[in-house]
C-alpha cells in the first residue's frame, strides 16, 4: 500500500502497455510542465505546468489537458498492471514534459514504486538543480537522458537555454554508473549533419557514454493547438 502524502502533480496522460520506454511492458506517467522551449516540441500540450484548454484538431473540439493527481491515485492505477510487469520484466516510466519540473512529487512517487518492487525508469532533459537531480536518479533503475545539441550557443538558440547544466547532470548520472541511455532527437537543420554526428560522438566518447538512441523527427503534437 502507498504511504499517504499530501503531494499532487499535474499529469497529462497515463499510457499503458508501452514497449518503447524501458524494458518489458510499461506504464508511462506523463508529467505536465517543462523548463525548455524546443521549437519542434512533440508534445506542446505538456509545456505549461497547469491544466489548460486546448483545441484538438482531430476531434474538432476543446479538451482540458492536465489533471492534478496524488501519489496514491497513481500507485493505485499503475498497480493494476503488476502481473504484466512481473511477466515481462517491465515497470513504470516517468516522462513529460519534464518530470523534474515537479521533482519532489516525482521522487516520492519513485520511492513508493520501488517499495512495491516495481522497476522504475525516467525520461529527462536533465535541466534541473544538480542536488535535486541526484536525489531523483537515486530512485531510478533505467534513465533515458535527452541531449539535443553539443554546442551551448546553438542549444540556446534552439531551446532557450545553454546545455551546460544538462551536461553537468549527465556527467553526474554517469559517475553514479546508472543504466543510462542517451536519446538524441534528430531535428532537420539543427543537429542532423555529419559534422553534428562527429561532435556528438566526440562528446559522448569523452564522457564515457555507452548507449545511445537516435529519435526521428515528428510533429504529431500539432494535432492540438493551445487557445
Q: Please state the φ and ψ torsions of residue 123, each to the nearest 5 degrees.
A: -110, 130
Count CB atoms within 10 A of the CB of residue 55.
Answer: 14
pLDDT digits 0-9 by tens, 160-218: 999 999 999 999 999 998 899 999 999 999 999 999 999 999 999 999 999 999 999 86
The CATH superfamily assigned to 8-226 is Aldolase class I (3.20.20.70)
Mean local confidence (pLDDT), 15-30: 97
Cis previous bond, 97, omega within 30: yes
SS3 content of the chain, % helix, strand, coil (to 5): 35, 25, 35
pLDDT digits 0-9 by tens, 85-114: 999 999 999 999 999 999 999 999 999 999
Alpha helices, DSSP H only, in 24-142? 71-78, 82-88, 103-115, 130-137
* Cα-to-chain-centroid distance, residue 118: 18
Domain assignments of the chain as residue spans, ordered by start:
8-226
Give kind and range of the element (H or E) at residue 158.
helix 152-159
For residue 83 the three cell numbers come to 502481473
For residue 123 the three cell numbers come to 525520461
User: Residue 5: its pLDDT value, please?
Assistant: 64
pLDDT digits 0-9 by tens, 33-89: 999 999 888 778 889 999 998 887 777 888 888 999 999 999 999 999 999 999 999
Determine the 3-state secondary structure of 61 from DSSP: strand
User: Residue 178: its pLDDT value, please?
Assistant: 86
Amino acid at each position: 500500500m502507498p504511504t499517504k502524502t499530501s503531494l499532487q502533480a499535474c499529469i497529462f496522460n497515463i499510457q499503458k502497455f508501452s514497449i518503447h520506454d524501458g524494458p518489458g511492458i510499461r506504464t508511462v506517467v506523463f508529467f505536465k510542465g517543462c523548463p525548455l522551449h524546443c521549437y519542434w516540441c512533440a508534445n506542446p500540450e505538456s509545456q505549461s505546468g497547469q491544466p489548460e484548454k486546448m483545441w484538438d484538431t482531430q476531434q474538432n473540439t476543446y479538451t482540458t489537458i492536465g489533471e492534478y493527481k496524488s501519489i496514491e491515485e497513481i500507485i493505485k492505477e499503475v498497480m493494476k498492471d503488476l502481473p504484466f510487469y512481473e511477466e515481462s520484466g517491465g515497470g513504470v516510466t516517468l516522462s513529460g514534459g519534464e518530470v523534474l519540473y515537479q521533482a519532489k512529487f516525482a521522487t516520492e512517487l519513485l520511492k513508493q514504486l520501488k517499495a512495491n518492487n516495481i522497476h522504475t525508469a525516467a525520461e529527462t532533459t536533465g535541466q534541473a538543480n544538480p542536488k535535486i537531480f541526484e536525489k531523483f536518479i537515486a530512485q531510478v533503475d533505467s534513465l533515458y537522458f535527452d541531449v539535443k545539441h553539443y554546442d551551448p550557443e546553438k542549444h540556446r538558440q534552439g531551446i532557450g537555454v545553454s546545455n551546460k547544466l544538462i551536461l553537468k547532470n549527465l556527467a553526474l548520472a554517469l559517475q553514479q554508473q546508472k543504466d543510462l541511455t542517451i536519446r538524441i532527437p534528430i531535428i532537420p537543420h539543427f543537429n542532423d549533419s555529419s559534422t553534428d554526428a562527429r561532435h556528438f560522438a566526440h562528446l559522448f566518447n569523452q564522457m564515457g557514454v555507452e548507449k545511445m538512441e537516435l529519435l526521428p523527427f515528428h510533429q504529431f503534437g500539432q494535432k492540438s493547438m493551445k487557445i
